[in-house]
Chain A
């Protein structure tokens, strides 16, 4: 280790101001701080600081995503072989999925980090770790057959327009990974919906629609996969969204470490479940032909991207509400909007993405009113005191 440190110390001056490669300073720093926590000491304020930093925080989220990623890879292979009617072992399924998914991950990270490094250098900042999570989320959000060039364009769009134009990580309004997903959804709708895209290299005869797609076309309830299949994840869908169980494993990691907000996760589920239950009750009276209305409420939570969105997307601290009270409102409204779009909108089978993006936009407004409440309370107290 000493030798490595010596090499870094030797080449470091060349990357610093006035050095030969000073235009690569941010990049060098990114790699150096990746290898070593820097020797910076406290100058002002508290002399001791917590061991946590942005790298640690972001890597916990990445770790929480890994169960869903690994299962996603296996499921890509499983669904493919299922559609062809071929029996394959766990390893074969996984390898097929690995070959499909790994390039998407590599493209997402490569394009995103490349842009991040360039912006960091322009601004003279250190490279922010935020994209470590976004770069992992993007592959998990897309259908397995998404062409790599689309992934590249969407990632570039998300990083530049979704994040860097606002000032980089911490300043963005929309969740960058969802921005990429929304870009794909609206720019290439035929590749992002329907019943062709959810199974990699699907056999033509096989129906590849997601459960949500089935419901949208008002197919009978019995055509849905069983609830347990949907919970464990043996269904077609975006790479990372299918297994509610492994998403919940990720949720446990986020909650135990305190990095994900339990308020948001819980309230999204409460909001979605609440509205779906209401629809169950009023469905027969207001819209007897809407199969979606009669769908048992808990199905909403295990279908499509609901759980993935609640655990990994809605909880993005930058684009969510920042106040604790605001987080409840924000989460409940996401759950409500997602179910509302699914059930009442005839065009979109899935509502989670739009619900989260919409509430991202409203999060600052929610916070504004929560903080306003605090201010009013303080003013009232002052009035009482002077009266």
Chain B
């Protein structure tokens, strides 16, 4: 039964540089898989520099869960295996062949094969890591039976992508993906869409799912918000979640019999000359995408959105789960009496700047300045205004800071991920690095429970 859920707490941050609804083709040339994209994975390499790989060739696997394997998104040559401090594997980059070749995993109809066969095919092809689980936001454990699977069909984050555009014409692959997912859970596959929009037929016509509608500001599109409102996670329970493009990847595995890592990503942000969509593959190098399309100056390239993304180099690679690149100005400047002047045109959630008089639709060019110094928590009640969970955010954060495992569990750590705290971190007057604290708590909890 479909539901409409209204989110009251939250904040839409309107940034300049929304992607125009045009999809350009780009040959990125280089692709990379970065272990850092997968929380809790200890990579064991299977290739060497100079090895020839096909799309679907396994690159590394997880030391502690060796059935979870990660495959090359393209065929080509392993160009570089980059390591960081303590020889931690940072990224495996692959130079793509002009002519792409794929490993054949065999076509199958997910409706007519068993769960084990579906899991097996996804694990072998390296498609499995597209499914993540809560609690802990790590790659799903194939042996678990999740109580439900959630797909968020929209992105409410700043400059979030338009999934209707991305899935356009992909109805068959989406349905095949959903069918496969349906076999993985005894429960419901939830597909969550924005209320009031003309949603893509690909979504609205899909079967084997329960469609739910969400109304309200960001984080209405966050999977954590949706799970909390539809079917909150209790201790011991597991749910799985994906984004639409990840469902397409699963669908294509069954329709085409290969790891088709195609992704449509948006290049967005105030510093982009022509923000638009690009058709490329998982882990694409952004070098070709941003070439001659970014305003000169000191800018920050972010894989993902401005709230939760990861800073990357201008020749870096898009993250495994990311659908967009955001380019915003760096904020390493001093501002004379910046805190004291009236501050017309400065975007703030608080109404201590007169900017709120401009209405809700003005778009802003925000930079990476912290806008103040780090302090102890003083203000109360502001976090709750952008945090739609039935959870006390500040109390949970404090329990993590003092490493009180019992309190974390009682206060609801199983239900949350750091991205759920991104807005809390954004509005926080004390400039605390809340997402990092939350991740620390989640990791501590996972360690405790393993």
Contact = CB atoms under 8 A, between A and B. Distances in A.
- Chain A partners chain B: yes
A50 B379 contact: no
A36 B328 contact: no
Given A45-B308, A50-B348, A374-B392, 18 more contacts: A5-B334, A35-B337, A39-B332, A41-B369, A45-B435, A47-B300, A49-B369, A53-B373, A53-B375, A54-B378, A55-B372, A56-B339, A126-B374, A258-B382, A317-B378, A371-B392, A382-B235, A385-B237
Interface in B267-311: 300, 302, 306-309, 311
B348 A374 contact: no
Given A39-B333, A386-B234, A47 B307 contact: yes
A52 B306 contact: no
A43 B374 CA distance: 12
Q: Interface centre among B309, B335, B418, by most A CB within 10 Å?
A: B335
DSSP majority for the B interface? Answer: loop
Contacts of A45: 308, 418, 422, 425, 433-436
Interface in A106-130: 126, 128-130
Contacts of B373: 33, 38, 40, 53-54, 126
Contacts of B366: 48
Contacts of B196: none
A316 to B, nearest CB: 9
Contacts of A152: none
Interface residues of B, number: 76
A313 B135 CA distance: 41
A84 interface: no
B427 A39 contact: no
Contacts of B367: 48
A318 B352 contact: no
Q: What 7 A-B pairs have minimum CB-CB distances, sorted nearest first? A: A53-B372, A170-B376, A37-B338, A45-B435, A382-B234, A55-B339, A36-B334
B411 interface: yes
Nearest to A54: B375
A51 B380 contact: no
B390 A41 contact: no
Contact of B384 (A256, A324, A377): A324
A193 interface: no
A37 B346 CA distance: 14
Contacts of A87: none
Contacts of B28: none
Nearest to B391: A374
B307 to A, nearest CB: 5
A60 B334 contact: no
Contact of A57 (B328, B336, B352): B352
- Chain A interface category by residue count: 35 or more
Contacts of A5: 334, 336
Contacts of A286: none
B340, B373, B390, B426 interface centre (most CB from chain A within 10 Å): B373
A49 B390 contact: no
A37 B378 contact: no
Nearest to B147: A385
A35 B339 CA distance: 9
A33 B339 CA distance: 9
Interface of B: 13, 15, 158, 232, 234-237, 300, 302, 306-309, 311, 326, 328, 330-340, 343, 346-353, 366-382, 384, 390-392, 394-395, 410-412, 418, 422, 425-431, 433-436
Interface in A143-183: 167-171
B421 to A, nearest CB: 8
Contact of B412 (A1, A50, A324, A378): A378
Nearest to B427: A50
A184 to B, nearest CB: 25
A232 to B, nearest CB: 28
14 contacts: A4-B336, A41-B369, A48-B306, A50-B350, A52-B352, A52-B427, A54-B372, A57-B350, A259-B379, A371-B395, A378-B412, A379-B410, A381-B232, A382-B236
Nearest to B350: A52
Contact of B425 (A46, A129, A378): A46
Contacts of A358: none
A324 B391 CA distance: 12
Given A377-B390, A382-B235, A41 B330 contact: yes
A219 interface: no
A320 interface: yes
A375 interface: yes
Given A47-B306, A47-B307, A371-B395, A41 B372 contact: no
B336 A35 contact: yes
A126 B431 CA distance: 13
Contacts of B333: 39
Contacts of B434: 45
Contacts of A385: 234, 237
Contact of A51 (B302, B340, B353, B376): B353
A25 interface: no
Nearest to B326: A47
Contacts of B302: 47
